[in-house]
Amino acid sequence: MRRLTMWLVSASALAACRPAADKNAESRTGDTTSAAAPAPASAGPMAIVTVLYNQPKDTAAFEKYYASSHIPLVQANQQEIGFVRADLTKFSSTADGKKPPFYRQAELYFNSMDDLKKGMSTAGFKKVADDLANFATGGLTGMIATASNTHETGSGNAPAAIVTVIYKTPKDTAAFEKYYSESHLPLVTASKNEIGFERAELTKFSSNLDGTPASRYRQAELYFPSMAALKKGVATPGFKKVAGDLSKFATGGFDALIGAETK
């Protein structure tokens, strides 16, 4: 279900969105290579605009425009929009080696939901949103989430390799949340040293950017220091235990993707 939720989103539609989710992040050992400088430590909740790009019709044309035009446009309007960090990820495959359903992900972090709402009402944000039609030929999904306990440590000079699990809406959200918090996350934590990931980021989406129900339910990201470390980690018994546990609560299905941070 890859919906074109934010195709040429208008400023009025963006301003109409409503937050209702939170993102819990374990310690972040390094900043993602991004279009913006890393955010300072934050004790309060942060708000996130997440854009998932579908596979474009022409990846070379996408990458050329993305790097030469879109990212500079985002950077030029950062101060007006008010986001404090931008994390960019490019997916290379699914966890089982197939073509990923999503091509890229971009996340804009704001210090609060009020800042996010204010930022989305600016002329600068409208410029960025209107620019999407110039390169995102496969369409995209835009969603909103909130973050808590997000902080940065380390230099963040090397791009990380990432296992990203994007959960679709489960049949029973209460059952999902109970198992997720009481069983799955403790299993992930217990396997961390064996798997070798440096941090885990957990996102719960609240809505699409146009105010409609979120196209995805949650996202979990495991960050590794390199692709070699990721490949080693996913081959461990610990990772296989974590992956095998997904069917016990992810009743709506999910996409498991391999990717890397990019500028």
Amino acid identity, position 99: K
Q: Is the pLDDT of residue 20 over 90?
A: no
How many residues appear in the chain?
A: 263
Looking at residue 147, its pLDDT comes to 73
Looking at residue 1, its pLDDT comes to 32
Q: Is the pLDDT of residue 249 over 90?
A: yes
Looking at residue 145, its pLDDT comes to 87
- Digit-coded pLDDT (tens) for 250-263: 999 999 999 999 97
Closest CA to 256 of 100, 107, 110: 100
Threshold 0.85, pTM exceeds: no
Looking at residue 222, its pLDDT comes to 95
Helix (H) or strand (E) holding 203: strand 199-208
Q: Is the pLDDT of residue 18 over 50?
A: no
Q: How far apart are CA 237 and CA 7, in angstroms?
A: 41
237 vs 104, 162, 254, 256, CA distance in Å? 29, 18, 21, 17
- Digit-coded pLDDT (tens) for 85-130: 999 999 999 999 999 999 999 999 999 989 999 999 999 999 999 9
Helix (H) or strand (E) holding 147: strand 140-147
Neighbours of 157 (CB within 10 A): 8
pLDDT band at residue 157 under the 50/70/90 scheme = low
Q: Is the pLDDT of residue 179 over 70?
A: yes
- Average pLDDT over the chain, rounded to an integer: 84
pLDDT band at residue 7 under the 50/70/90 scheme = very low
Looking at residue 47, its pLDDT comes to 87
Q: Phi and psi (nearest 5°) for 72?
A: -60, -35
Q: Is the pLDDT of residue 210 over 80?
A: yes
Q: How far apart are CA 120 and CA 49, in angstroms?
A: 10
Looking at residue 46, its pLDDT comes to 82
Q: Is the pLDDT of residue 50 over 90?
A: yes
Alpha helices (H) along 106-236: 113-120, 123-131, 173-179, 185-190, 192-195, 227-234
Q: Is the pLDDT of residue 141 over 50?
A: yes
